[in-house]
Homo-oligomer: A and B are copies of this chain.
Amino acid sequence: MNVVIAQSGGPTAVINASLLGVYKQARQWGEVDTVYGSLNGIEGIIYDRLVSLNEQLATEEQQALLRQTPAAGLRSCRYKLPSFEKDPAVYEQIRATLEKYDIGAFFYIGGNDSMDTVDKLSTYFASVGCPIRVMGVPKTIDNDLMLTDHTPGYGSAAKFVATTVWEIIRDATVYELDSVLIVEIMGRDTGWLTASAALPHLFGEAAPHLVYLPEVAFSAEQFIEDVKRVQKQSRTVIVAVSEGVEVESLSAYQSGKVDNFGHKYLSGVGKCLEDLVKEKIGCKVRSVELNILQRCAAHIASATDVAEAEQLGATAVAAAAQGHTGEMAAIQRGVGEYNPTYTTVPVCEVANKVKYVPREWINEQGNNMLPAALEYILPLIQGEPATITENGLPKHWIVK
């Protein structure tokens, strides 16, 4: 019997650590001969593009390189599996490929769209009496999955955001002039990643002075009032804003395009706030979009995140070996101490749902984080993994 792994959705710094976790645990699963990788997510199974990973990940050095390589080593897709009623042929095609390679279990590493695929596929296999197990391994910098304390990829992205915002604070405060610096941060409809920009508060830094999450309705008038109020205390005002914050005049800055899941491509809220400050206040203002750097900056990954991502991959395999299917590996946080433990949860309760930042972690005015949010994030950014470099640059693993 063999198994297959695929990766889907937007890249993260640690999605390959989960791939490694699945690979290593599968190699220890007595019944498994070959661990296959499917190129470009589920599309690689539909179009029969499977590659054996047994030789490509045989050595400790290959494994270490995979672990430190950002983005999806098996490449990715944004393919939305249609419902069985709508297109039964694609389900049969997937089953045909899996049976051709004698696959006993399929592991899908991804966000809530990928969990939708795990849900649909495991339901289909159960309904036709096909014994192939389908398990999900969570991944998203957005941290918006239900039933897991947090998602792999989030801790590293949060570490990048907090470190970078703190460096930007140093950079932006060197001149003696009134200025506003706006940092736009990813996260789609949730503010988890933007919240991490406030981590410097834990170390006595007053900035960022204003933090706006999509969980709170945004008012352009209130924003300008907020900036003016901070300007009375600080000549430089640092603002962190989530890409998902809805500003009335924003449509002109966005392309209006949607991806295959109907998500809008979000971009432009930082630029929009920059123009608002220019128009209503008139001081020097700059916006910085952290852009895709925040999801692929493996050079500043969190060692905690890397280890957890790998462990979740292993957890999914261990559960599949016990016969589980239609589940997602998940992290539980200890009471009191952080102390994470690993489990699996029904994927149908995760797919297509969104977990938001609790309102009580945001201040009453809706323009900054409270300590509870920062205490939640802090354990997730701990530790710096050892990195293999060559001539001053981190090395990458490339699939053959």
- The 0/1 profile, CB within 8 Å of B marked 1, for residues 287-318 of chain A is 01111110111111010000000000000000
* Chain B CB within 8 A of A76 CB: yes
The distance in angstroms between the C-alpha atoms of A207 and B397, with both chains bound, is 15
Residue A34 at the chain B interface, CB threshold 8 Å: no
Q: Which residues of B contact A394 (CB under 8 A)?
A: 163, 166
Residues of B within 8 Å of A286, CB to CB, are: 292
A320 within 8 A of B: no
**Are A167 and B40 interface neighbours, CB within 8 A?**
no
Are B293 and A170 interface neighbours, CB within 8 A? no
- Contact at A396–B166, with CB atoms within 8 Å? yes
* 12 A-B pairs with C-beta separation under 8 A: A11-B174, A40-B176, A71-B170, A163-B394, A166-B393, A166-B394, A170-B296, A171-B292, A203-B393, A293-B293, A382-B391, A382-B392
- Bound together, the chains give a CA A159 to CA B391 distance in angstroms of 10
- Bound-complex Cα distance A203 to B396 (A): 10
Known: A69-B170, A168-B293, A170-B70. A175 touches B75 (CB 8 A): yes
Which residues on B sit within 8 Å (CB–CB) of A159?
A: 392-393
Contacts of A164 in B (CB 8 A): 293, 297, 299
Q: Report whether B175 and A76 are in contact in the complex, using a CB–CB cutoff of 8 Å.
A: yes
Q: A40-B175, A163-B299, A202-B391 are in contact. List 16 more A-B contacts (CB 8 A).
A: A40-B176, A71-B171, A71-B174, A75-B173, A75-B174, A76-B174, A77-B176, A159-B393, A162-B392, A167-B297, A167-B298, A167-B299, A203-B390, A288-B289, A289-B289, A300-B300
CB-CB nearest in chain B for A47 = B176
Q: Is the CB of A168 within 8 A of B296?
A: yes
Which residues of B sit under 8 angstroms from A40, Cβ to Cβ?
174-176
Beta-carbon nearest neighbor of A377 in chain B = B392
